[in-house]
Chain A
C-alpha cells in the first residue's frame, strides 16, 4: 500500500522506465500537481487526516502507477514530437532522397537552429558567466549565497526554454512541463537538492558550450550557404558585372572560363543540398547532446 505522494511518484517513474525521459518528467509533474492538490483539499475538509490516511483513496481515484504509465505511453505513440512524423523515404530513389531534403521541414528547422545558435549561445554564455562570477565573487559576503541560488534557479529556466527550442526546431522530444517543486520538503532541503542534482550542473555546462558550438554552427552554415548561392548565381552576376567569377590566391587572379559556368551552377546546387543534409546530421547530434544535458535523469 502506498503511503506517500513521493512513493507514488517513484513508482510511476519505475513503471515508465525505458520511456522517453521527457515523457517521464511530464507524467511525474502532472501526477504531482494533481495528488498534492487533492491532498490539500482532503486536509482542508478534514484537518485531522494524515497524508498516509488520505493517500490510498486519492490514488485509487487517480489510478495506479501502472494504469497511468500505460495511458502516457499510449498517448506518446499517437503524438509525434515537434515537427511531426519523418517523411517515409524507404522507397524513393537515391537522387530523390538527396534533393528531397528541401521538402523536409526538419532540415529547414535544423538550419534555422544552426543560425540562431550563435544568438542563444551569446545570451546563455553571458548570463552564465556573469551570474557565476558575480555570485561566486560575492560569496565571501553574505549576499553571495542567495545570489548563487537565484542564479542556479535561472539556469534551470534556461534549460527548459532551450529544450522547447530544441523540440520545435530539431524535433527531439524534450520536457513540455517545468519540473514541479516538491512543497513537502523544507526550504533548506530544496536548496541542497538544487546543488546536488546533476541536471543543474549539466545545464550550466551546456549553456557555456553553446557559445563555441553556436559560433561553429553559424560560421559553417552561413559560409556554406553563401558560397553555394554565389555559385548558383554566377550567370546573373556575370551579366550584371560583366566579369566571370574569380578568386585571388596570393598575387595571381584565377578567372573561370566561360564553359565552366554551368559547372558552377551545378556545383552550387549540390553544395547547397549537401549543406541541408549536413544541417540535419548536426541537428541529430546536437539534439542528442541537448537531451543528455538538459533532461533530468
Chain B
C-alpha cells in the first residue's frame, strides 16, 4: 500500500513540476537584472529546501533548451577560467512578454485552486 501512495505522489509531483518549471526558470532569468547566467548558477539559485520536491538539476537543462528553441531565451558559449566552457542563458523580449502572461495565469490559477480547496474545508465544517 505505501508503495502505491508513494507512486501516486510521485506522479502528481512530476506533473505539477513539469507545468511550472518553465515559469520558474523564466522568472529567475528575468529577476537576475537580466544578467546572463549559466546552467550551474541557475541550478544553485533555485535549489529549494530539502523537503520541497523539485526538479533534479540535470532536468533543468532540457527545459532551458526548449525555452531557447521557442525563442524565449537566447544562449551562447563563453570559455571559463576554471573548468569547461559555459553556456550562458539570457531572457529575450518575447520571453519577458511571455513571462508577464504566464505570471497572470499562475496567479489566477493559484487563486482559483485556493478558493476551491478552502470551499471544500468550509463545507466539511458544516
- Shortest C-beta distance, A176 to chain B (Å), equals 7
CB proximity of A91 to chain B, nearest CB, Å: 29
Min CB distance A141 to B, Å, is 30
Binds A, one of B27-35, B81-89, B92-100, B104-112: B81-89
Interface bits A160-188 vs B (CB < 8 Å: 1, else 0): 00000000000000001110110100000
Residue A197 lies at the interface, judged by CB distance under 8 Å to chain B? no
Contact with A along B42-83 (1 / 0, CB 8 A): 010001000000001111011101100100000001001011
Partner of A71, one of B62, B80, B86: B62
B36 within 8 A of A: no
- In whole angstroms, how far apart are the Cα atoms of A75 and B85 in the complex? 24
Q: A232 at the A/B interface (Cβ < 8 Å)?
A: no
Q: Are B87 and A31 in contact (CB under 8 A)?
A: no
- Among A34-42, A108-116, A126-134, the one that faces the other chain is A34-42
Given contacts A33-B39, A38-B40, A79-B69, contact A71 B83 (CB under 8 A): no
Q: Which residue of chain B lies nearest to A60 when distances are taken between CB atoms in the complex?
A: B56
B69 touches A36 (CB 8 A): no
Give the Cβ gap from A101 to chain B, nearest Cβ, in Å. 26
- Of the 9-residue stretches A61-69, A237-245, A282-290, which lies at the interface with chain B? A61-69
The listed residue (B43, B59, B61, B80) touching A67 by CB distance below 8 A is: B59
* Residue among A27, A33, A72, A78 with most chain B CB within 10 A: A33
Known: A34-B43, A62-B56, A68-B56. A181 touches B84 (CB 8 A): yes
Interface pair A75/B57, CB less than 8 Å apart? no
Nearest chain A CB to B102 CB, angstrom units: 17
CB pair B58 A63 closer than 8 Å: yes
- Is A30 a contact of B61 with CB atoms below 8 Å? yes
Please name the residue on chain B nearest to A69 by beta carbon: B58
Question: A34 and B59 in contact (CB under 8 A), knowing A176-B65, A178-B77?
Answer: no
Partner of A74, one of B38, B62, B82, B85: B62
Contact yes or no, A26 B65, CB < 8 A: yes
A33 touches B40 (CB 8 A): yes
Q: Taking CB as reference atom, which chain A residue is nearest B61?
A: A30
Which of chain B's residues have a CB closer than 8 A to the CB of A75? 62-63, 65-66
Closest to A177 in B: B87
Contact yes or no, B83 A34, CB < 8 A: no
B84 x A33 contact (CB < 8 A): yes
- Contacts of B12-31 to chain A: CB distance below 8 A: 18
| Alpha-carbon separation in the docked complex, A267 to B14 (Å) | 58
Contacts of A38 in B (CB 8 A): 40
Beta-carbon nearest neighbor of A70 in chain B: B59
Q: In chain A, what residue has the closest Cβ to B18?
A: A74
- The distance from the CB of B20 to the nearest CB of chain A, in whole angstroms, is 15
In the docked arrangement, what's the CA distance between A71 and B21, Å?
12
Interface string of A48-88 (1 = CB under 8 A from B): 00000000000001111001100110110011000000000
Question: What is B's interface to A at a CB cutoff of 8 Å?
Answer: 18, 38-40, 43, 47, 56-59, 61-63, 65-66, 69, 77, 80, 82-87
Given A40-B82, A40-B83, A62-B56, 12 new contacts (CB under 8 A): A30-B87, A33-B84, A34-B39, A37-B40, A37-B86, A41-B40, A64-B56, A67-B56, A71-B56, A71-B61, A75-B62, A181-B84
Q: What are 13 residue pairs bridging A and B, where the CB atoms are less than 8 Å apart in the complex?
A: A30-B39, A34-B58, A34-B61, A36-B83, A40-B83, A63-B58, A67-B58, A67-B59, A68-B59, A71-B58, A74-B18, A75-B62, A183-B83
**A-B complex: 3 closest residue pairs judged by Cβ atoms:** A63-B56, A68-B58, A75-B62
